[in-house]
Amino acid sequence: MRPTKRGWVFSFCLLLVFVGAAVDIGHARGAGLALTPPMGWDGWSSYYGRITNDATVRAEARAMATNGMKAAGFHYIILDEGWEGLRDAHGRIQANSRFPDMKELGDYIHSLGLKFGVYSSPGPYTCGGYVGSYQHEIEDAKTFAAWGVDYLKYDYCSAKLVYPAAEMQSADRKMYDALRSTGRPIVFSLYETDLDQVWRWGRSVGANMWVTAAQARPPTYQDYNRMGSIGFEQDGLEKYAGPGHWNNPGVLAIGNGRLTPVEEKMQMSLWAILAAPLIAGNDLRTMTGQTLAILTNREVIAVDQDPKGIEGHRVTEEGQLAVWARPLSDGSQAVGLFNREEGGDARISVNFSEIGIQGPARVRDLWAHKDLGIYRGSFSAAVPSYGAVMVRVTPE
């Protein structure tokens, strides 16, 4: 039986819908954008809205390119607020006098094999009172693309003065559409800290990542308690993350002077299990070798960057002792044993059946870079106070 004319029309329309959806998904992923969590550096924590000048940013970029961070997977150099000047007569955003040529700065960052990020807001002003993108989304997107920008951090701030909460999704979508129209792949990162449950809708407006907790202000608040209250509240959000779209618990506090090395390993372990973007916030030029070693642990980073892109979850919790796990693409499980108690070591165990492993399994300590042997049924370790043990458990 031959299809009717109406049937052909219906089929053609349905095809267009599928093609349109596929194209939109392709744009949301940016033809391969953020298929693993972005890794880089954001100057806000170190400079708190004072990204000093062009020379400082170049020095941070050189440090990343030469100290082993680039080789470990860190690539984005993100200027947070503080670079903005005024608009010209055509409405185009200009950088201030501390950044005489943004295109040249972007070219320099690219010449190091790195990527260039900037900051703006859907409101008329940024959090620090600089010019935002309100009613200038198309002009700003074109300007960012012309500068060679690879990443846009889009911060809510004054948007609440001009947009009701019900309209924020359309406001963010407006910038996403503007970025897409330039033809340049630009990671789109939302900082909607005042809005409810952005993880439920961030992907629908084209975002590649979104913060899942209010950011610490000022930087001195980024201590152990703040880190823990954010990181350990992420359970249940894993279904909203995956290749091209990530939950972002925030900038790493590693190296900012407020965490001990034991606490820094806890944050790095938890962020990796959460498949979180790894955005350093410390001064890359002056950090210690110990801090650098924590940030560039290849085995921990491999968990964060696992191509399967499944965010981890809490397996068990008893008081301040917890086990988190994340399934990896090779069939193994990344497991974090976390001790948030005072008073010394605590022994924490994970039962293999609770992480989907039956029979014996090989266990490797990712911080010690050491194979611990074959275990049957469970694994346990003494975990230091405010610390973590992170292992990879592979079925034998």
pLDDT value, residue 27: 43
Q: What distance in Å separates the CA atoms of residue 83 and residue 106, rounded to the nearest whole number? A: 13
Which fold would CATH assign to domain 37-304?
TIM Barrel (3.20.20)
Size (the chain), residues:
396
Q: What distance in Å separates the CA atoms of residue 128 and residue 131, rounded to the nearest whole number? A: 9
pLDDT value, residue 45: 77
* Contact (CB, 8 A) for 193 and 199: no
Q: What is the pLDDT of residues 168-227, one digit of tens each?
A: 999 999 999 999 999 999 999 999 876 679 999 999 999 999 999 865 454 445 688 888
pTM of the predicted protein model: 0.91
Name the residue ranges covered by the structural domains of the chain: 37-304, 313-395
pLDDT value, residue 37: 98
pLDDT value, residue 220: 45
The closest alpha carbon to 268, from 392, 385, 390, 393, belongs to: 390
Q: What distance in Å separates the CA atoms of residue 372 and residue 77, rounded to the nearest whole number? A: 37
* Contact (CB, 8 A) for 245 and 203: yes
pLDDT value, residue 324: 98
Which homologous superfamily is 313-395 in? Golgi alpha-mannosidase II (2.60.40.1180)
Q: What distance in Å separates the CA atoms of residue 391 and residue 29, rounded to the nearest whole number? A: 31
The closest alpha carbon to 213, from 253, 166, 161, belongs to: 253
Residue-wise pLDDT tens for the chain (396 aa)?
A: 444 544 444 444 444 434 344 444 444 444 589 999 999 999 887 776 667 899 999 999 999 999 999 999 999 999 999 999 999 999 999 999 999 999 999 999 999 999 999 999 999 999 889 999 999 999 999 999 999 999 999 999 899 999 998 899 999 999 999 999 999 999 999 998 766 799 999 999 999 999 998 654 544 456 888 888 899 999 999 999 999 999 999 999 999 988 999 999 999 999 999 999 999 999 999 999 999 999 999 999 999 999 999 999 999 999 999 999 999 999 999 999 999 999 899 999 999 999 999 999 999 999 999 999 999 999 999 999 999 999 999 999
